[in-house]
């Protein structure tokens, strides 16, 4: 059952939230030994479910009553271990909870557990977790994408109907495409970042995964809106569920020419063409647009993101919280802590960012990246003067094999080539299943102008109704 059907049944008294939690726990026990989507289960989940039952018995009708959900393990949760996929926070139990998690609970949802991720959200495959990789439910020899691969895999495998992830350069959308689910990156500021362990603060966004557009909209309605604890959060949030039934006829959509390069898998290209055909059948106008500035998006992204990461991760030095390497002398202990407890990819990005910010290189690298970022935002602004939405493949290929790109970081970075620009410009972007290539799911990406989040969901709902056959679930993983 999807999230909205569970909530409807719980509010009608036909389902007990504790039974719903128990059923999903049983699915996790049956499947996660092979998939490894979860790092920590919430020991208080049953207690939370009973609290929801009491709210319903008292006459409340929470919109997500009894719905189990999972949270990427870089969103802090009071009393539940939060690791960010890193040994440096392996035993960290936060004293407070992220706003997005609190808001889902306020809507009646029940936290089931914390999901695996690339360490500090730095990666595109969930292979950079200090606790081992997550596997793709469609093919256990392949990655689920990253960095929110654990959340995507948990939703794809039916272990939870909803999950939260974070998206710095595609970390929700790319794993959604690889695992055949929906993944939504809202407009920057639409969802509070309070309680999100920072990677790159000007790029990070919290967003949901789901298996249906209705569930995605319900999750967004719960978590979006102004938060006084986050100065970058936006005041107004639309009624996302009401927006699903808005007419989409007459909307103008354009393919982005530069995102269909020679490295695009033929099956991905075919899925995009079929998707565009469905949109035309629904009454949308489909054209084509060139955005040559996107040539600089990946380089600009990795300079901006690593520069901010080198600053944000300076706090993990063994003096305040987290693991600390032995040593009496302060500087030596700091160096030993970071050398021992950070993984190779985190170290690589800290080195890159520190170099880009260093004296003599700041303007040559970080300054030029900021200028490229501004040029990309202006290019999108020009495109949205003529079109309501833009269309791209989410990723150039389906999911790659575990270990295939670990020895070639640049090849790994290129999997984000179609997603990073939305973060640089602060745009809303949605990945939705569009078919299969060689038996593996592929996704397409819709991008809108800032604050047009609900427009993306309305088009996705129309597509879901017209071509629901692509919203399939993977077979259960083999036993043994």
Question: Burial letters for 200-219: b for 16+ Cβ neighbours within 10 Å, e otherwise?
Answer: bebbbbbbbbbbbbbbbbbb
Residue (of 167, 34, 171, 161) closest to 110 by Cα position: 161
- How far is Cα 202 from Cα 362, in angstroms, rounded to an integer? 18
- How far is Cα 413 from Cα 408, in angstroms, rounded to an integer? 9
* pLDDT at residue 238, as a whole number: 85
- How far is Cα 150 from Cα 93, in angstroms, rounded to an integer? 20
Residue (of 326, 318, 320, 319) closest to 342 by Cα position: 318
* pLDDT at residue 478, as a whole number: 60
Q: Angle CA(18)–CA(79)–CA(313) in degrees, nearest 5? A: 130
- How far is Cα 455 from Cα 428, in angstroms, rounded to an integer? 10
Q: Are residues 158 and 300 in the same domain?
A: no
Report CA 348 to chain centroid distance, whole Å: 22
Average pLDDT over residues 202-223: 98
Domain annotation covers residue 193: yes
Q: What sign does the dihedral 42-49-223-112 (CA atoms) show?
A: positive
Domain annotation covers residue 167: yes
Percent of the chain with pLDDT over 90: 93
pLDDT tens track for 313-338:
999 999 888 899 988 898 999 999 99
Tokens of residue 9, six digits: 């049944």
* pLDDT at residue 427, as a whole number: 98
Domain annotation covers residue 402: no
Q: In three state form, how does the secondary structure of the chain look?
A: CCHHHHHHHHHCCCCCHHHHHHHHHHHHHHHHHHHCCEEEECCCHHHHHHHHHHHHHCCCCCCCCCCEEEEECCECECCECCCCCCHHHCCCCCCCCCHHHHHHHHCCCEEEEEECCCHHHCCCCCCCCCCCCCCECCECCECCCCCCHHHHHHHHCCCCCEEEEEECCCCCHHHHHHHCCEEEECCCCCECCCCECCCCCCCCEEEEEECCHHHHHHHHHHHECCCCCCCCCCCCCCCHHHHCCCCCCCCEEEEEHHHCCCCCCHHHHHHHHHHHHHHHHCCCEEEEECCHHHHHHHHHHHHHHHHHHHHHHHHCCCCCCCCCCCCCCHHHHHHHHHHHHCCHHHHHHHHHHHHHHCCCCCHHHHHHHHHHHHHHHHHHHHHHHHCCEEEEECCCCCCCECCCCCCCHHHHHHHHCCCHHHHHHCCCEEEEEEEEECCEEEEEEEECCCCCHHHHHHHHHHHHHHCHHHCCCCCCCCCC
Domain annotation covers residue 403: no
Q: Are residues 232 and 346 in the same domain?
A: no
Residue (of 212, 209, 129, 125) closest to 166 by Cα position: 209
**What domain range is 307 assigned to?**
295-370
- 480 pLDDT band, cuts 50/70/90, is very low
Whether the per-residue pLDDT at 212 is higher than 50: the answer is yes
Q: Are residues 67 and 189 in the same domain?
A: yes
- 464 pLDDT band, cuts 50/70/90, is very high
- How far is Cα 9 from Cα 355, in angstroms, rounded to an integer? 55
Q: Are residues 238 and 316 in the same domain?
A: no
Measure Cα distances from 454 to 192, 373, 401, 457 in Å.
17, 25, 35, 5
**At which of 314, 336, 370 does a domain end?**
370
pLDDT tens track for 401-457:
999 999 999 999 999 999 999 999 999 999 999 999 999 999 999 999 999 999 999
Q: Are residues 162 and 308 in the same domain?
A: no
Q: Are residues 98 and 193 in the same domain?
A: yes
Average pLDDT over residues 287-309: 97
Q: Are residues 326 and 217 in the same domain?
A: no
pLDDT tens track for 225-257:
999 999 999 988 889 999 999 999 999 999 999
Q: How many domains does the chain have?
A: 2
Q: Are residues 162 and 304 in the same domain?
A: no
Domain annotation covers residue 456: no
What is the CATH number for 78? 3.90.1300.10
**For the chain, what is the radius of gyration of the CA atoms?**
21
Question: Burial letters for 298-329: b for 16+ Cβ neighbours within 10 Å, e otherwise?
Answer: bebbbbbbbbbbbebbeebbbeeebbbbeeee
- How far is Cα 32 from Cα 153, in angstroms, rounded to an integer? 10
Q: Are residues 89 and 211 in the same domain?
A: yes
pLDDT tens track for 149-188:
999 999 999 999 999 999 999 999 999 999 999 999 999 9
Whether the per-residue pLDDT at 479 is higher than 60: the answer is no
Domain annotation covers residue 169: yes
Q: Are residues 234 and 86 in the same domain?
A: yes
**Which residue numbers are catalytic?**
72, 147, 171
Q: Are residues 131 and 43 in the same domain?
A: yes
Average pLDDT over residues 359-375: 95
Residue 39 · residue 73 · CB < 8 Å: yes
Q: Are residues 228 and 106 in the same domain?
A: yes
Residue 164 · residue 206 · CB < 8 Å: yes
């Amino acid at each position: 059952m999807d999230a909205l059907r569970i909530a409807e049944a719980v509010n009608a008294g036909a389902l007990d939230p504790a039974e719903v939690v128990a059923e999903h726990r049983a699915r996790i026990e049956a499947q996660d030994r092979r998939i490894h989507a979860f790092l920590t289960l919430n020991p208080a989940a049953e207690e939370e479910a009973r609290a929801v039952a009491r709210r319903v018995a008292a006459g409340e009708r929470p919109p997500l009553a009894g719905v189990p959900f999972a949270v990427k393990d870089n969103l802090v949760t009071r009393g539940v271990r939060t690791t960010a996929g890193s040994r440096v926070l392996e035993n960290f139990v936060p004293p407070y909870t992220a706003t997005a998690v609190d808001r889902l609970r306020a809507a009646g949802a029940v936290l089931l557990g914390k999901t695996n991720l690339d360490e500090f959200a730095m990666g595109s495959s969930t292979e950079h977790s200090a606790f081992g990789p997550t596997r793709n439910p469609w093919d256990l020899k392949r990655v689920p994408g990253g960095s929110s691969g654990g959340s995507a895999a948990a939703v794809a495998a039916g272990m939870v109907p909803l999950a939260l992830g974070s998206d710095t350069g595609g970390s929700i959308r790319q794993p959604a495409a690889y695992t055949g689910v929906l993944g939504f990156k809202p407009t920057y500021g639409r969802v509070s970042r309070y309680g999100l362990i920072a990677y790159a603060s000007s790029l990070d966004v919290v967003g949901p995964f789901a298996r249906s557009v209705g569930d995605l909209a319900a999750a967004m309605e719960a978590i979006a809106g102004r938060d006084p604890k986050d100065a970058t959060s936006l005041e107004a949030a639309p009624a996302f569920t009401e927006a699903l039934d808005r007419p989409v006829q007459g909307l103008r959509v354009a393919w982005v020419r530069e995102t269909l390069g020679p490295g695009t898998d033929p099956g991905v290209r075919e899925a995009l063409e079929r998707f565009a055909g469905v949109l035309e059948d629904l009454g949308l106008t489909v054209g084509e647009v060139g955005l040559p500035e996107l040539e600089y998006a990946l380089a600009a992204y990795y300079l901006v993101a690593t520069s901010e990461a080198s600053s944000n991760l300076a706090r993990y030095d063994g003096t305040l919280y987290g693991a600390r390497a032995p040593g009496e002398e302060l500087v030596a202990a700091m160096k030993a802590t970071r050398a021992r407890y950070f993984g190779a990819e985190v170290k690589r990005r800290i080195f890159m960012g520190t170099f880009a910010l260093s004296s003599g290189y700041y303007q040559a690298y970080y300054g030029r990246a900021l200028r490229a970022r501004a040029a990309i935002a202006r290019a999108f602004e020009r495109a949205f003067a003529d079109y309501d939405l833009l269309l791209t493949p989410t990723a150039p290929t389906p999911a790659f094999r575990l270990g295939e790109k670990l020895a070639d970081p640049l090849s790994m970075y290129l999997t984000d080539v179609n997603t990073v620009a939305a973060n640089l410009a602060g745009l809303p972007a949605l990945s939705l299943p569009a078919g299969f290539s060689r038996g593996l799911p592929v996704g397409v990406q819709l991008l809108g102008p800032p604050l047009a989040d609900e427009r993306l969901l309305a088009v996705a709902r129309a597509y879901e109704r017209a071509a629901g056959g692509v919203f399939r679930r993977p077979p259960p993983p083999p036993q043994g």
